[in-house]
Amino acid sequence: MEEFRNIGIIGRLNSNKVIETIRRLSRYMVDEGYHVILDDRIAEVMPGHGMQVSNVNLLGEICDLVIVVGGDGSLLGAARALARFNTPVLGINRGRLGFLTDISPDDGMCDAVQAVLDGEYIEERRFLLDAEIKRDGNPIGSAAALNDVVLHPGKSARMIAFDLYIEGQFVYNLRSDGLIVSTPTGSTAYSLSGGGPIMHPRLDALVLVPMFPHTLSSRPIVVDGKSEIKIVVDASQGLYPTVSCDGQSHIPCAPGDSITIRKKSHKLKLIHPKGHNFYEICRTKLGWSSNLGD
């Protein structure tokens, strides 16, 4: 088990509850002798904190562990920034569902974090995606995603026509509201809302989920996680769609543009408390019934 001494903290902005949680957590860790470094954006709204401040990239370089206080969206942003540093990330849930941020901010929070710092944790490796958009063969934009890469109409209400290729092989031409390309991590997010399957986080697979396809036979497709996915926007349609990564990075596209999606070389090192159970999380967050012990 790794030794955690330099602890970075990233928090969701514009939330008094997040600030209160960070104050309580950071005071505890400083009192216990840990070196705490705050993300510079959250430090700006915590005057008088008295701790070292750093930007997120430097946090990745100098920290043994980064704790994210917020919802899954906060952890997604941290994951994209920190994966290349191989820095372990732990989430404290101040959001809604909390599939990734799984420590509760209640009275037992500090004890739960201390248990992790003492080596009582489970480590998972989650892969990310790289999306690159090309126009006339030239790159015009790129972004990374932990959950999903989504082609959608943007502000338009029209269907998108596009060609889909997997590993260079033509799959189909489709008219739909777009396409979700999701990792196993993202399979419980937007992909699930679009009718995609839930995938266990350890799977090396991608799921492609058409959004409201203009056909009765189009269904989600699960492919090898190492597959290269290519989407070519119909050049004759005159529609300017958008590619969104994790719903946070947005790249405008034009007719004829191609979007290439492949697995990123760096993985996220995600830390869970001991006893973490993916199926229990699904039962709790998705309202599955539990007859255990009945």
Residues making up the binding site: 72-73, 147-148, 158, 175, 177, 188-193, 248
Which residue ranges make up the annotated binding site for NAD(+)?
72-73, 147-148, 158, 175, 177, 188-193, 248
What are 143's strand-pairing partners? 131
Active-site annotation holder among 72, 102, 246, 257? 72
| Residue 72 known to be catalytic | yes
d(Cα 95, Cα 285) in Å, to the nearest integer? 12
d(Cα 4, Cα 184) in Å, to the nearest integer? 28
Q: Which of 226, 189, 227, 228 is CA-nearest to residue 209? A: 189
Q: Tell me, letter by letter, the H, E, C secondary structure of 34-89.
A: CEEEEEHHHHCCCCCCCCEEECHHHHHHHCCEEEEEECHHHHHHHHHHHHHHCCCE
Cβ neighbours for 60, distance < 8 A, ≥ 6 positions apart = 66, 81, 82, 84, 85, 87
d(Cα 86, Cα 60) in Å, to the nearest integer? 8
Most distant CA pair in the chain, distance: 64
What are 233's strand-pairing partners? 162
Q: What residues act catalytically?
A: 72
